[in-house]
Structure 1
Amino acid sequence: MSGAVDLSALKARATAPPVAAGQPTPAVTPNATTVTEETFQAEVVDRSLQTLVVVDLASTRSAASTELTATLEGLAAAGAGTWVLATVDVDTNPRIAELFGVQSLPTTIAVAGGQPVQAFPGGDVREWLHGLLSALGDQLPGTAAAMADLPEPEPEPEDPRFVAAELALDGGDYAGATAAYELVLASEPSNAEALAALAQVRFLQRLDAVTPDAVALADAAPDDVDAQLLAADAELAQQQVEEAFARLVATVRRAGAADTAGRDAARARLLSLFELFDPAEPHVVSARRKLASALY
């Protein structure tokens, strides 16, 4: 959004006469403020030169808007000055809503350095704020100073189930480590940490069967599927990732319909090796495409 909205459009309103006697005045706290067209320049544009400002374009007519405003107010209070909440009632300040091109409520937009930088896309607002502070915190003096004053977060307590698994692995007890991680997955099938750790344990356990001449033996017997599986593990252990993947894809293709058991074994081994990497890793993406081609 940077540069797409000219926030100076409301600057003239900042010099308008003060609120008449008897009229409600904007509510202000150290980390949150209610902004009007008259205070927009000072409370949003100017303030954003020092500290991240989150503009909450809200209306009491919208239940979702009211709920998000309450959440943001709580987060601003807990933010200890790392960012400031600027709430705008769009019903009484239509020019600000028009300025930001508001089409639905709630609309929330972060402003830094005098310009809009990102709109809240929905989802977890805490994660959105964390991402903004991580990306912009060191560029805004006020935000950087407030972040530097934050206490160090308390370390999360260790999960005793993972502690037991790691102790077993450290002692070379692969079966014990496998059982410990499988216990986690029995109750949490999608636990990413346990899935990744279990894939690593199984790989380490298989390496016990790999001999120094595993690759040479496999090269001499291309139709021996078991030899190809061992060789792929050996190559991966030597950081030869592309070679290991290519070997297993070739084994799948070579086995074909004539040896469905061998084909399935090679495919399963390749999929298990994929689990050791980020799914977006280029080697994995390329090998998956080649595997699909070999199978179909």
Structure 2
Amino acid sequence: MSNPAPGAVMRGAVDLSSLRNRPAAQSAAPAPSTGGEAPASRLVFDVTDADFGQVLELSRTVPVVVDLWAEWCGPCTQLSPVLEKVVTELGGRLVLAKVDVDANPQLAQSFRAQSIPLVVGLVAGQPVQLFTGAVPEAQVREVFTQLLQLAAQHGVTGSVPAGETPTDGESPAPALPPLHQAAFDAIEAGDYPVAAAAYEQALSENPRDEDAKAGLAQVHLLSRVQRLDLGEARAAAAGAPRDVAAQFDVADLDLAGGHVDDAFGRLLDLFAELPDDERAPVRERLLELFGVVGDADPRVIRARGRLASLLF
């Protein structure tokens, strides 16, 4: 992907377990429905420390975007309308939960909100880092598209009725190009070879299709980690520090688990240790993973800087 995005990342570093079983207060947050249907609710709502457990449960049905903001935060006031617009245009496939960090310090602490706006996804109760700071609308759209893809991999494909959410005369989000839609459908079905073929065809028709490049990198990562066991991979990598394939496996798993800096650091350390004539595959894998995380992500920028210093 070409901007801050979740890719395949399900973050485990944020601990929300203390918020799961708190008594629910009256609020605008949606309550999950019984009978397996998607909950009927507004698409954008405020949540608090007290009722956030409802949102965690909701995320088992439909992906949730959490916007941590404050009234005094200028970038927050720029970003929030963009988030609301894009969520609305997606017609219930995502919902937006807004958290005032000043009024809800426990949530701010749980999400480690060192700066705001901070935007985090929730998929099946697990946090997914999206981005920090105000980003352009086009980047928000791509991030949310990839969050939906990630959610599909974890069986979270429900939606909520759009209800009477105002459209303000806005046009609906444009349909995906046919090959991109075919790839997205294949990802939802877990058919990674078909998804990869669709993105590859899109790139053959338009080599400058950045969305297809990003999608293909993500599909490759999803396909690789599907076959891996974390314990076995870590043991193999520890026993063979210069085994490129073993280090690739752990880096893939780290990235898919949300440990982005760990993944990049592992591959950069390996790159530094290898002789020049063995470095090319490591550089190629790094560039691919940079594409999964997003070129504008600060972690990618830092890793690119270190890679450049190692090269020159």
Report which structure shows greater RCO (CA 8 Å, sep ≥6).
Answer: 2
Q: TM-score, normalised by structure 2?
A: 0.44
Q: TM-score, normalised by structure 1?
A: 0.46
- Which structure features the higher share of helix residues? 1
